[in-house]
Amino acid sequence: MEMKPILTAHYVAGYRTPDYSGAWGQWKSESGDIPEGTQQHNPDHLLPNGERDIASVYMPVVGTYDSGDPDLCEYHILLAKAAGLDGFVVDWFGPHMEQRHMQDDANVRTLLHMANKLDFKIALCFEDQCCFPPLQPMVQNREQTVNQAKAALQSAQDIFFSSPAYLRLNGRPVLTTHNQGKPGKDWNTPFFTAEEWKEIRADLSGDIFLMQNYQPVRHGISFTDWDSVYPWVSVYYSDYDTDETFWEKSHSAREHGNYQFISGLVNPGYDDRGTVISSPGECRGTGGDGQRKPRVFSRRQGEKYTATWEDNLTHGAQFIQIGTWNHHAQGTGIEPVKEIVLHRSAAVPGSGYRELITTREYAMRFKQKKLWPLPALFLPERLYRLRKSGAPETRGDRIRLYLLEGDLTGSSLGLEHAGV
């Protein structure tokens, strides 16, 4: 399959604020995330530095936000376009989910609507676990889990796949998957097999372009069962900046099967100390007390991110996903964050716009095309602040139009005159 290079980022749409949607969503620690009795983060509380106590080691430069806010969707999409991205691959748990993800589906719809306005693309990352216990406690066998998936994707077909803003390849809507563990036959193994996916796909009115995820513990999955396979963040855990097994399997499948193209993923690092509290120096795993420990893999002052970019370009990736745009609980995001130490227990300062600037540089290499001038990268934040200042909507719309047309002078002057 011949295709132009595509650059996307894995996107989390589960953030909420009480002022906008009545709760904190994924800014707040949930009991399922951390060991019982461990300190939980609550954004209603302020830290000694005056910031909200969120479940992350990094605070976004615009502060806490609500994923269902159209102003936030506009900000993220304009920022991504300025950095050279074609779209977001949004984590999706289906249309009807339990308390923690109950707002996600509506938030994705808002994001899709804004993407349609701004000539941007959205794809879904289907979480297999949304069809299995404990998220679906009434499910008791594999047939029921498959039926759950059919119903969820029928909803996706009706609402998302039909949108002009939905990402398609050769006319087929792109669906990525994310799952836990390994494929299995047990009713509580949250990973659909290739055979089950054939049944799920057959239930749709049109075929999808299905991309499975690869993790080092899954060396046994067959790459030729899928349209493509992308590596997940775990391939870059520790100081690993490549996974030769993944690349070898990808190129072999591309040469000998129905595998459509080489997929890749770039990653800036990982730090989930914002959700899991333990003693300094401890790393992720199960300790003698049976409790889960934090996982920390350093960004190495930005070197981790550049190394994984080089790894992808060296191995000929044609579809690159950034892991991630804003998974703040895992500390894998590239969206701009404040250059402060948020939590004393995780004394690492935020990197500001560093990863986004790096993204822009590599996007130009990857796609062989010019982007908006570098100063444009800092304008979406100012536009977002203007939107939140209570200024007339038409003023912000005019500045957005200047930016979309590449008129850096007009958008900058408009923001200056507005006082932001």
Residues 272 and 402 in one domain: no
Residue predicted with more confidence, 236 or 267: 267
Looking at the fold, whether 237 and 324 belong to one and the same domain comes out as yes
Q: Which residues of 352-382 are buried (b: 16+ CB within 10 A; e: fewer)?
A: ebbbbbbbbebbeebbeeebbeeebbbbbbb
Query: Is a pLDDT exceeding 80 seen at residue 252?
Result: yes
> Which residues lie closer than 8 Å to 171 by C-beta, 6 or more apart?
none
- pLDDT at residue 90 is higher than 70: yes
User: Residues in the chain, how many?
Assistant: 420
Q: Which helix (H) or strand (E) segment is 356 a member of?
A: helix 354-367
> Looking at residues 124-139, what average pLDDT do you find?
89
State pLDDT tens for residues 309-361.
999 999 999 999 999 999 999 999 999 999 999 998 888 999 999 999 999 99
As a whole number, mean pLDDT of residues 399-415 equals: 95
Distance CA 174, CA 177 (A): 10
Parent domain of 333: 6-371
Q: Is residue 351 part of a domain?
A: yes
Mean pLDDT of the chain: 90
39 φ, ψ to 5°? -55, 135
Q: 120 by DSSP, 3-state: which?
A: coil
Pair 195, 327 in one domain: yes
Tens-digit pLDDT profile for residues 193-208: 999 999 999 999 989 9
d(CA 259, CA 224): 6
- Looking at the structure, tell me whether residues 287 and 415 fall in a common domain: no
Q: Among 371, 395, 412, where does a domain finish?
A: 371
Give yes or no: residues 415 and 359 share one domain.
no
On whether both 326 and 418 belong to a single domain, the answer is: no
Instruction: List 122's β-bridge partners, or say none.
Output: 88, 166
Residues 142, 36 share a domain: yes
Per the structure block, which two tokens stand in for 278? 């333990």
Q: How many domains does the chain have?
A: 2
pLDDT over threshold 90, residue 258: no
Among 78-82, 251-255, 360-364, the range scoring the smallest mean pLDDT is 251-255
Distance set, CA 233 to CA 90, 261, 282, 320 (Å): 15, 19, 20, 12
Instruction: Report how far residue 197's alpha carbon sits from residue 246's, in angstroms, rounded to the nearest whole number.
Output: 22
Residue 357 structure tokens: 């600037």
Residue 328, domain CATH: 3.20.20.80
According to DSSP, the residues that pair with 127 across neighbouring strands are 178
Query: Do 384 and 357 sit in the same domain of this protein?
Result: no
First to last CA, the chain: 46
In a domain, 1, yes or no: no
- Residue 250 and residue 364 in one domain: yes
Q: What is the mean pLDDT of residues 278-294?
A: 49
Residue 176 has pLDDT above 80, yes or no: yes
- Worst-scoring range by mean pLDDT, 163-167, 168-172, 186-190, 251-255? 186-190
Answer left, alpha or beta for residue 48, where phi above 0 means left and psi between -120 and 50 means alpha: alpha
Q: What is the pLDDT of residues 5-17, one digit of tens each?
A: 999 999 999 999 9
